[in-house]
Structure 1
């Protein structure tokens, strides 16, 4: 199992995957908004989305777990 974490603090602008989706390494999974910029968060490994820990509009800090892949 691997975790996708926030690379910086910001608001969750868009979640582009759902539980059960297959994702590839380097694929965008969540878009954060910080200082009026959109920052894509990518999966560092391929897998299936097991759990999403955030909702659109949530504020996250650097290092927070956003979702889990298995």
Structure 2
């Protein structure tokens, strides 16, 4: 079992979460949308696997480098 932490690549707020815990995802699937400077920036899965944990909530401020989602390969 390999766990991969997916980190925010930009500072902003969590606009919309597109996945749920337990959901299967493929590499480059959209996990959530970050709003930053009036732009919507998708946070993509870096691997194929299953979403094990979502560590953010919609509306939450998110700092660059913060772990947002954990995926099990």
Give the SS at the match of 1:45.
coil
CA RMSD of aligned residues (A): 0.4
Give unmatched runs, 5+ long, in structure 1. Answer: none
Q: TM-score with structure 2 length normalisation? A: 0.94
Deviations 1:10-68 (A, max 9, x none): 00000000000000001100100000000000001011000000000000110000010
Q: TM-score with structure 1 length normalisation? A: 0.98
Give unmatched runs, 5+ long, in structure 2. Answer: none
Aligned residues between the structures:
70
